[in-house]
Structures are given as structure tokens and as C-alpha cells.
Amino acid sequence: MSNLNAIDPFLEYSGKKGIIPTNTLNSWKGALSAILSVLEDDERTTDFVLSSGDVIKNRLQNVNLDISGGTIGLYVQRSQLAIRHFLEWQSDREAWEKTQAGKKTKSERVVKTESKKPIGVNPTSHNMRTISIPIGDGSGAFNLTLPEKFTMDDLLRLVWGLAIYSADFDPSEMINKFRKPYNTKNSASTELEILN
């Protein structure tokens, strides 16, 4: 049983050495930060998080009503995954790092997957549309394939799903900045409330 604070050196080491992709580390850090907010001091252990996922999900859902259950489930899963990696690293760093080195990178997986597609097949179906949104610094664009019809709730799920991959992700900041734009069950209002 290890205290969750002991994971910080593992995350720092993995990031500095480039063993784990930055996006993955950011998602693990964001997830761990979110679950720490609902744990008592004596519960901040690897054993508790690994064995009490449902308890943590319930607490997170009760204090973060604007976040979907699926997102909260991802926080718990990512926290548990980070802990499992930490425990393997703690047990045998060399073996753990060799295992990570043997995994294919995302670009290798994409190339392999794309090479299996028949030539001339458009991955966008007639019910989907692809949009391009420029990145703020002008270094590229986000290309998204979306259904022709989607709701503000879908948009919020997309924002929350992508937020954990940002380099400066802070779940508490997200909760304070974005509120659910409208209550779909009780109100016809569609105004987006953005808090500063």
C-alpha cells in the first residue's frame, strides 16, 4: 500500500524520460487530481483507489453535477491505470520501462490501421460532417468528424472529453469556468453561461 503522493516522482520521471506520452500523463494527472478532491487523508492510498472505484465515482458524481457519469468513470479508470503503472514501476523499473518501450506508438497504430482501409473509401458517412477549427497559435487545426445533428449536451461531452488532453488541464478550473448551458429537463433556455 502506497500513499498517492508517492506517484508524483513516477509521473515526473516518466515525463522527463519520455517513457509515457505527454497527453497520457496529463490525463492521468487530471484524473488523479479530480479523485483526490473527494478522498479523505486516510483514503489517499493506492489500495483504496484500486478497490473502491464505485465509491469514488459516486462521490465525484455527487460533487460535480455538471460532469457526465461517463467522464467521471474515465477519471476513475485513468487514475487506476496510473496507479497500476506506478506499482509496476515501483516493483521493477527496468522491466516496466522495457514493457513501455515494446508498445507501439500512436502513429504506428494509426499507420497500421489506415493501411487496411480500401482505397477510395470515405470514412465520413452521409450522416457525418468533418470540420476544421484552427489552433489558437496558428500551428495547425483540429479536424473533427461530427454527426450532422448534435446537441449542446454532446458539445459539452466533447469539451470535457478533450479537456484532459490539454497541457494546462485543471479540473477545478474547468468546473468554475463552464457550467451546463441549460437544464434540458426543466428549461427551454439555450443561453450558454460562461463564468469568469
**Burial class (CB within 10 angstroms; exposed 0-12, middle 13-18, buried 19+) of 167:** exposed
Selected residue with higher pLDDT from 97 and 118: 97
With beta carbons less than 8 A apart as the criterion, state whether 75 and 174 touch. no
- Report, as an integer, the average pLDDT of 99-116: 58
Amino acid at position 9, single letter? P
The alpha helices in 64-170, defined as continuous H runs, are 69-91, 93-102, 106-115, 152-163
Q: What is the DSSP letter of 17?
A: T
Retrieve residue 169's grid coordinates: 488541464
pLDDT in tens, 141-189: 777 777 877 788 777 777 777 777 777 777 666 665 655 444 444 443 3
The reported pTM is 0.55
Provide the CA 163 distance to its chain's centre, in angstroms: 7
pLDDT in tens, 25-83: 998 998 999 899 899 999 999 999 999 999 999 999 898 877 777 888 888 999 999 99
Residue labelled with grid coordinates 492510498: 45
